[in-house]
A and B are shown apart, each in its own frame.
Chain A
Amino acid sequence: MSEIKPGPNNPVHLPDPLPVWATCAPEGDLATPAGYFEAAWSRFLVAQGSTWRRDFLVGGTHVTLEGKGEALAEALTPALAHLAVTDVHVGAPRLIVRTWDSIHGRVDPPPLPALPGDKLAHDRVSRLSDDRFTAVLERHFGALTLLDGASGRGIYYTHDGVTLPYYETAAPMRALWYAWFSRHAALPLHGACVGRGDDVLLLTAPGGNGKSTTALLALQAGFEYLADDWCLIAPRVPAAYSLFSSAKLRPDNLHRFPGLADRIHNHDRLDEEKATFFLHRYFPSQLKSSGRLRALVIPRVGGTADTSFAKVSAAHAFHALMQVTLQGMAGAGKELFPLLGEVARCAPVYQLTLGHDLAQIPPALDAILAHASRA
């Protein structure tokens, strides 16, 4: 794999070697996963900045996010705001995540161990994993995710919380959610999710096939909304869970949604970024945290005015799921193959051919829900 060059998609590099600016206590054996994790976990304590804490119910799991400095709070928490919990009835957290950045916290994680061929220094995304620990280095924007699956502790470190790319603030810490939930028979998937009542549809396809457009048309038509880009699927229930309250649209697609025009979060950067919306601020009653997964829908843009759908095989769904997961999930690989198979088999699958007449699309989603409910 060639070395990643700086550029619009790779704005930040982790310094190599990583400087340690703060004074840290003596650390254990960094060459073991447990030793490395404990050292990184402790470095949070010496990071500068005020400590904040937020609690969320993510995929039914009580997650506590502890951070240093407001920059990261502003970057990471808006997309999770619809999952925030304040009641103590949710009990002790099952997952505690510590997060800080070097620029404001003035401390880096320990240097990562070396790999043969110096792969960690050159891959865009690298992942180390065993039965207990996962480490994901997303070099293209300078983030390191660590998970100790046994103790329910995670770490999300980044070089500079202020310069996180918009796609990370819109869907933060995907590598962490993947590492945690794939150990619990659930999978964050690149897909939109909308529904009626308790029943929801997962729309999944590679970019450019109309997922976001379909999801936002459904939102406008009164559907309940879980996701336009990433959601969590638990195939053995089967259920879908909302992960992020954000929606993203290509700027040339905005004219189809005039009601969203004054709700764009990043309106000053549309020359470089997709328009991003945090929907919990504007459609709180339609944001839904979970639902029963009734069908998998594979959208594609058709060449006529009319929208139509047809039932297709689970293998169609599997092919689409493989494509979007490999494209979108940092560090995902063949170990997710069985779980993707479970997702492809967990509900009826439909191909949705989207027509130019957008008014036909929400009724087609209703028709799929009705058809799948009879299946």
Chain B
Amino acid sequence: MPVFKPATPNITHQALDGEVVAIDFDKGIYFNFCGAAGPAFDALISGIPSEQLATLFTGAPADASSKLAAFCQRCVDEGLLMVADSPAVAPPPAPSPVAWVEPSFESYTNMQQLLLADPIHDVGDQAWPKQPGSPA
């Protein structure tokens, strides 16, 4: 059963009252997942296998599994998720089921220029940029 993880460290997400917002800071794209897509994305990121997604919803229609599989594939196609090579030995506990609402997948590029401006140069303990000629 495939387990997914963020495709790059520069994918980040926030759960907001049942919706999920994700941002790809490499491409500058902003995503909004509503309905079942929000809890599904949250579950995928937490390590729940994609085949189990339909069990997270009450009142899910017969084609819920295929719709959730399509959502997973869209996340992979958009570069948000990738299959985890070494998933956790024990999957995390599933969250409490929520009522099914048709999943929606929206993406926005209106902040692309701002997100890609990248004025940030985060540095670690020894990573303050070296002066030319300074000791290593």
Contacts and interface: CB of A to CB of B under 8 A. Distances in A.
B115 A326 contact: yes
A119 B123 CA distance: 14
Contact of B131 (A30, A33, A313): A30
Interface stretch (A70-78, A235-243, A337-345): A337-345
B96 to A, nearest CB: 19
Nearest to A124: B119
Nearest to B123: A130
Contacts of A116: 129
B86 interface: no
A341 B16 contact: yes
Interface string A324-355: 00110011011101101100110000000000
Interface in B12-52: 12, 14-17, 19, 21, 23, 25, 30, 32, 34
Interface stretch (A184-192, A276-284, A314-322, A359-367): A314-322
A314 B17 CA distance: 7
Interface residues of A, number: 42
B17 to A, nearest CB: 5
A252 to B, nearest CB: 25
A115 interface: yes
Interface in B77-136: 108, 110-111, 114-115, 117-125, 127-132, 134
Contact of A128 (B15, B111, B123): B123
A95 B135 CA distance: 33
A318 B34 CA distance: 14
| Chain B: interface size category | 20 to 34
Contacts of B15: 341
Listed residue (B14, B32, B117, B119) with the most chain A CB atoms within 10 angstroms of its CB: B119
B114 to A, nearest CB: 4
Nearest to A138: B119
B26 to A, nearest CB: 11
A273 interface: no
A113 B115 CA distance: 25
A333 B127 contact: no
Given A1-B117, A33-B128, A314 B123 contact: no
Given A318-B14, A319-B21, A36 B119 contact: no
Contacts of A193: none
A88 interface: no
A128 to B, nearest CB: 5
A319 B109 CA distance: 12
Given A313-B17, A314-B17, A113 B130 contact: yes
Contacts of A340: 14
A129 B129 CA distance: 11
A331 B120 contact: yes
Contacts of B111: 322-323, 326
Nearest to B117: A1
A114 interface: yes
A127 B119 CA distance: 6
Listed residue (A114, A123, A333) with the most chain B CB atoms within 10 angstroms of its CB: A333
B66 interface: no
A125 interface: yes
A345 B16 contact: yes
A337 B130 contact: no
A31 interface: yes
A32 interface: yes
Interface string A99-121: 00000000000000111100110
B10 interface: yes
Given A129-B120, A130-B122, A326-B111, A31 B19 contact: no
A130 B124 CA distance: 6
Given A1-B117, A120-B129, A128-B121, 14 more contacts: A130-B122, A130-B127, A314-B16, A315-B19, A315-B34, A326-B114, A326-B117, A333-B118, A333-B119, A335-B120, A337-B12, A337-B23, A344-B14, A344-B16
Interface of A: 1, 29-33, 36, 113-116, 119-120, 123-130, 133, 313-315, 318-319, 322-323, 326-327, 330-331, 333-335, 337-338, 340-341, 344-345
Nearest 10 interchain pairs by C-beta: A341-B14, A326-B114, A333-B120, A314-B16, A315-B19, A113-B129, A31-B134, A31-B131, A314-B17, A125-B119
5 contacts: A129-B121, A331-B119, A333-B118, A334-B12, A338-B14
